[in-house]
Amino acid sequence: MIAQHFEYSAPSTLQEALQLLADGTAKVLAGGMSLIPMMKLRLAAPEHLVDLGRVADLKTLSESSGEIRIGAMATHYDLESSPLLRQRCPLLAEAAGHIGDMQVRNMGTIGGSVSHADPAADYPASLLALGAQVRLVHAGGERTLSLEDFLVDTFTTAAEPGEMIREIIVPVEEPGTGVNYQKMVQPASGFAIVGVAARLRKANGKISLARVGVTGLASRPFRATAVETRLEESAGTEDDIRQAVALIANGVEANTDIHASANYRKQMAQVYAARALRAALAGAL
């Protein structure tokens, strides 16, 4: 199918973009990896598209005061290949490398992915494990939300009309933290049937920090806090991991679709969580 007629704007500055979005009727176009196919199928029919591809201020990636700030228009390849991220926040660089294929990683953006709020997207598991924040801007100001507060439900976020993501903020990783992202891939789309991100830190022979983010399992990505609680202050033995991952779907209504049943997703979440935790534990000092 062909998208319906729409107005197209390509501002060169952030302020110009925000003015175009101010009345709340226009739709942001980032990489277009999700929006353009939806428009072709007429599942989305915006009357006005504001293309952010020329806004250089949205493509920055920098470190300041113990935080890494990633512009919303930074591509998946930018993150995957960034020396800064590989050294200072390797979990996010690793997650970016799992997204789609080369063409998608060259065009798709972190801001577009997070804004789309697909429950099977790769970034949220790692961003939740990292305690990421989302900086939103609009014509009248800005605000910052945790990713947990930003992601409301399937394809639903806390962004208000006229707001857009300016940047994603993640902490600089402490030395000695083990990280890993594992996912069961849906082969046609590259999305996660289930995906699990793990961050582990050890002190005096025990796990002092455990953060586990999960995507694909439920209607929105989430932190598996029961898994984290079971692991912290444990030695991280194989039995500790086995008992911890058994809790990964606690209180969660798992998705059922044409790709996997709820029970299958729950089982695979345990399998991939165990893999991620073992790999993260091997890198934790």
The answer on pLDDT for 67 being more than 90 is: yes
The answer on pLDDT for 53 being more than 80 is: yes
**Mean pLDDT computed over 2-27:** 93
The pLDDT score that the predictor gives to residue 233 is 98
Question: Between 284 and 43, whose confidence is greater?
Answer: 284
* Confidence (pTM): 0.96
The answer on pLDDT for 77 being more than 90 is: yes
pLDDT tens-digit series, residues 162-186 = 999 999 999 999 999 999 999 999 9
pLDDT tens-digit series, residues 120-154 = 999 999 999 999 999 999 999 999 999 999 999 99
Residue ranges and CATH numbers for the domains of the chain are: 7-51 (3.30.43.10), 56-171 (3.30.465.10), 178-283 (3.30.390.50)
Rounded percentage of the chain residues whose pLDDT exceeds 70: 100
Q: How confident is the model at residue 20 (pLDDT cuts 50, 70, 90)?
A: very high
Q: Write the DSSP assignment of the chain as a string of letters.
A: --PPP-EEE--SSHHHHHHHHTTS--EEESS-TTHHHHHHTTS---SEEEE-TT-GGGS-EEEETTEEEEETT-BHHHHHH-HHHHHH-HHHHHHHHTSS-HHHHHH-BHHHHHHHT-TT-SHHHHHHHHT-EEEEEETTEEEEEEHHHHEEETTEESPPTT-EEEEEEEEPPPTT-EEEEEEEE-TTT--EEEEEEEEEEEETTEEEEEEEEEESSSSS-EE-HHHHHHHTTS---HHHHHHHHTTTTTT------SS--HHHHHHHHHHHHHHHHHHHHHH--
The answer on pLDDT for 92 being more than 90 is: yes
The answer on pLDDT for 1 being more than 80 is: no
Q: How confident is the model at residue 4 (pLDDT cuts 50, 70, 90)?
A: confident
pLDDT tens-digit series, residues 218-267 = 999 999 999 999 999 999 999 999 999 999 999 999 999 999 999 999 99
What's the mean pLDDT when you consider all of the chain?
96
The answer on pLDDT for 43 being more than 90 is: no
The pLDDT score that the predictor gives to residue 285 is 81
